[in-house]
Structure 1
């Protein structure tokens, strides 16, 4: 019997009836847990349940659909179960609307700065979130520079060249929007042609285009998705490549050389010779 399932039941003060694994699980174990009192909940461990709970609560505070946090400690996060039998193809516009709502949130105190209250992790890859007053500085140091020691030397050299050019490619002080931070179709729950939940966040405050860009790494969103926040600004193709590059680098480090062509593609699109 799963230790995680038993622990989730204990956190909720209920008996465990049954459980089964949910899809995914590359970064953490995620279970659908059936309790003796009739409730069905989702339980998840690592990398940092307390940090993930704080991120879900921040997203939920915007009014966006996210699973309610039912219980959490250092070992497990227990969440409300939300239906997910639909497909994103039917509701790209709704996802765009949800993101536009999330992106209205700002850091406490209304200060223009970029980052998050603590670091995080995606599997074995640390996600550095220390605050920065400049957006190009944040992206260069926290999203690109952190990979230099972990990628092939030729990739590192191209990254360094791109990092030096970021002040001319990214806006200096865009409105610091609350970002999901790791948005792809696997982290969006859908049912009845609506988004029912944003899950597995990697939140920080930054340029709203980050979420729009990363959604396009493994999918091809239609115009309805992108237009929910208004027309894309000039130069977005290069910025999208820069933002997608972080996702590609994380995958290169987690899953190996299969993702090297993706890294090269985004470096090319960003103009990193």
Structure 2
């Protein structure tokens, strides 16, 4: 099983897509780093900045367009979706560009200073009104979750048969990568034990809330991008941010913020552990597939020692 390769997109193909939507005049077409599943380019048209993303994965971006409308409609700085389409075998989406650079490119001091704002954004995301939709797990193009319960989602994403998805034949990783079956199964069983704590809580989850998907001007967060969006316990996003910024006191800052705002969080510790297991398990599989051995070992150590 080889690491996933993002699609190669010829500059002429990009120019044609942009010409179809904007007419002539798109300039400064520049590849952007980041994004493991999309080929991403920025460009300028009539003085405004935009982004176009290409993917060969089935149904790519229809959900992102829905999420864009949902979040930007509720005052969250997420790029507005302008166009969806297909070019040959590739799906694409054109979005407004939010100014700023990846938070990951800021200094450690700059990142630390923006933690209170990150906590505020997490709180905003957790409060997104999702009552018009139903279901758990992956958000579909119609805005509903793909599963009837959180447990159904957890079981499905870790099942062996993932035909037609990014994880097709993932059990091969036990033979071809550093993924260890006994470790995976141990953490999966622990995850199932915590599902009852997470299951009653249905909110919006960004699913990739970390420095590479957060934009900053160095002093403030200018917006959130991308996402692996789903419905479930919004503490999943807190767990993701804490694992990516482990020296920034994220959990304590979050609890302090909620206490000050008068927000009570039932079963906080258990829900957070369930969230760590949920994201960590997927992380193990992803790091193994990508060949990122150090990230795999670090996540493995963290998860196995979580209840120690």
2:4 is matched with none
**1:158 paired to 2:183:** yes
Structure 1 residue 143 displacement after superposition: 5.0
Q: Could you report, residue by residue, the CA deviation over 1:136-193 in whole angstroms, capped at 9, with x for unpaired residues?
A: 4422432576676143277223333433343432315332110101111000011263
Change (3 A) 1:109 1:73: same
2:123 is matched with 100
Structure 1 residue 242 displacement after superposition: 0.5
In 2, Cα distance between equivalents of 1:139 and 1:59: 25
**1:243 paired to 2:278:** yes
Counterpart of 2:253 (choices 211, 215, 224) is 224
Residues 107-256 of structure 1 correspond to what in structure 2 (within 5 A)? 107-109=130-132, 111=134, 113-118=135-140, 130-133=146-149, 135-143=150-158, 149-152=171-174, 155-170=180-195, 171=197, 173-191=199-217, 193-220=219-246, 221-222=248-249, 223-225=252-254, 227-230=256-259, 233-235=268-270, 238-245=273-280, 246-256=282-292
2:52 is matched with 43
- TM-score (norm. length: structure 1): 0.79
In 2, Cα distance between equivalents of 1:167 and 1:39: 47
In 2, Cα distance between equivalents of 1:89 and 1:258: 24
1:126 is matched with none
Q: Number of residues paired by the alignment?
A: 260
Structure 1 residue 255 displacement after superposition: 3.2
CA contact (8 A) 1:4 1:44 kept: no
**1:260 paired to 2:270:** no
In 2, Cα distance between equivalents of 1:106 and 1:139: 23
Change (3 A) 1:151 1:29: same
In 2, Cα distance between equivalents of 1:142 and 1:227: 33
Q: Which structure 2 residue ranges, 5 or more long, are not aligned?
A: 1-10
Q: Could you report, residue by residue, the CA deviation over 1:50-84 in whole angstroms, capped at 9, with x for unpaired residues?
A: 23222222332332111111222133211112111
CA contact (8 A) 2:209 2:241 kept: yes
In 1, Cα distance between equivalents of 2:180 and 2:119: 33
- TM-score (norm. length: structure 2): 0.72
What is the alpha-carbon root mean square deviation over aligned residues?
3.1
Change (3 A) 1:10 1:18: farther
In 2, Cα distance between equivalents of 1:177 and 1:237: 15
Q: Which structure 1 residue ranges, 5 or more long, are not aligned?
A: 120-128
CA contact (8 A) 1:65 1:197 kept: yes
2:95 is matched with 79
CA contact (8 A) 1:136 1:172 kept: no
Counterpart of 1:19 (choices 29, 34, 39) is 29
Change (3 A) 1:237 1:175: closer
